[in-house]
Amino acid sequence: MDIIILVVAVLLIGLLCFKNVPTLVSGILCSVLLLVIYRMDIYDGLLNIYMGGLVGFAKSWLILFTLGALFGKLLEATGGADSLARVILKWVGPKNISLGVCVFTTILAAAGVSSFITIFIVYPIALKLCRKANVNRAAVIAGFSLGLNLGLALPWVPVTNNVLCASYFGTTVSAGGMMALFVNIVFVVVGMIYIKWYERRLAAKGLGYAPAYGTGSMEDEKELDDAVNGPHWVLSLIPMLIPILVLNIFKAKVEFALLCGVVAVIVLQFKYLPRKWEPNRKLMSDSISMSLTTIINAAAIVGFGAVVQNCPGYAVAVENILSYKGSPLMITFVATNLISGIAGSSSAGLVLAAPVLQQAATLTNAAAFHRTTVFASLGLDSLPNAGFLQTECTVAGVKFKDVYFPVIFALTVALTLGRALLYMGLCAVFGIA
């Protein structure tokens, strides 16, 4: 019964998001509903639990979001985003923007760059490409979604999901390597085939590039022309690589790594920055405004997640999910997916499920169990209650309801679940688990 209640609450907040109800209103309404059902104190639930989750998220991510927005705005102001966009457009062609976004995102995600940082690096360039090629913004969401899910599921890479599973199951980040690589190749090929079909469908309807929805879109209104007036594209690429190097070589904090990227833009492209105070003041003001809009949209959903996790039924639901009986790989597939879905986060799902799943890992091939758990964590974590999705749509300037089912759900839920099942099937065929 508790699982049903929580699932209904998740579906309800998803419905409100589809109806473009402000996320803060949606989060509060659904939180009150849960508080009433479980007979919890509404005042305490909203003031301490809901606002605690909202403020906690804002506290943890505000500096990062602001630096990310500033990073993107600086690249726009100097023309650095234009320069790199021209190179990518020349490489992939105007009909393959989603492929370029997918490859770019995969590299950043696999390098261990935070998903939020990846958004702020990729989207300013990707939206420029869409404007130049008259391609619908959904192409950016599609390429980003596919690339992010590919990068987070690759073996050998230092991403959080991989490292968490290695630490809990006594494996290494290379666990299930070659078969996982094959499954990921199938995943990205099928994903790109679907994306191209979807893009042709949009083009047939005459749905090309359109103005941004909302005020949080990470782009300016300047056209991407053919003249090279800004810095060389290498001077734009270096500031993007610096946060990756600082994160992975020096093991620095994410905020410091992104600050290094911001400083690199200023130093390397200083001659292209405005010389008057007013344009620079506006640049900083716009960055702050956009980061606040983005973080509130995400934090409002995170606050709802905090209420879910504090409901008495949540612990019961998790216990029931983890008590599922079946083959070890099916146990982790079901448990990790459901918990990640209810929590609205793949890493949160792993943190909750992995300690309990350690015993199941000893009953089968640990490497296969590790990789199945990683794949499973990336499935239902993309239900509408995931705050990250709100950030993604806000920055892209699209309506959540327009892209969720045909793009986000299709690529990051349906296709991702299929990838996990394919991996499990191959393990059974080859007798690995």
- Cα separation, 180 vs 88, in Å, equals 28
Burial of 31 (0-12, 13-18, 19+ CB in 10 A): buried
- Cα separation, 42 vs 432, in Å, equals 50
Mean pLDDT of 119-125: 80
Distance from first CA to last CA of the chain, Å, rounded? 32
Q: Minimum mean pLDDT among 1-5, 98-102, 171-175: which range?
A: 1-5
- For 241-280, the pLDDT digits (tens) are 887 788 667 877 778 888 888 899 899 988 888 888 888 8
Share of the chain above pLDDT 70, in %: 93
Mean pLDDT of 69-86: 78
Confidence of residue 138 (pLDDT cuts 50, 70, 90): very high
Residue 275, φ and ψ in degrees, nearest 5: -95, -15
pLDDT given for residue 302 in this prediction = 80
- For 180-225, the pLDDT digits (tens) are 999 999 999 999 999 999 999 999 999 888 888 876 676 655 555 5
Q: Minimum mean pLDDT among 44-53, 77-86, 213-222, 325-334: which range?
A: 213-222
Q: Find the helix packing angle between 366-377 and 177-204, rounded to 10°.
A: 20
List the one residue out of 392, 372, 394 whose CA is nearest residue 382: 392
pLDDT given for residue 221 in this prediction = 55
Residue with the bigger pLDDT between 88 and 117: it is 88
Does residue 342 contact residue 314 with C-beta atoms inside 8 Å?
Answer: yes
DSSP element (H, E) containing 142: helix 138-153
Does residue 213 contact residue 399 with C-beta atoms inside 8 Å?
Answer: yes
pLDDT given for residue 223 in this prediction = 58
Q: Where are the domains of the chain?
A: 2-429
- Cα separation, 36 vs 129, in Å, equals 48
Residue with the bigger pLDDT between 97 and 386: it is 97
pLDDT given for residue 429 in this prediction = 94
E-strand ranges in 32-145 read none
- Cα separation, 364 vs 359, in Å, equals 10
pTM of the shown model? 0.77
Does residue 271 contact residue 249 with C-beta atoms inside 8 Å?
Answer: no
Does residue 270 contact residue 364 with C-beta atoms inside 8 Å?
Answer: no
State the CB neighbour count (10 A cutoff) for residue 252.
Answer: 16
Residue 145 has pLDDT above 90, yes or no: yes
pLDDT given for residue 257 in this prediction = 80
- For 277-314, the pLDDT digits (tens) are 888 888 888 888 877 877 887 788 888 888 888 888 87
Q: What is the CA radius of gyration of the chain?
A: 21
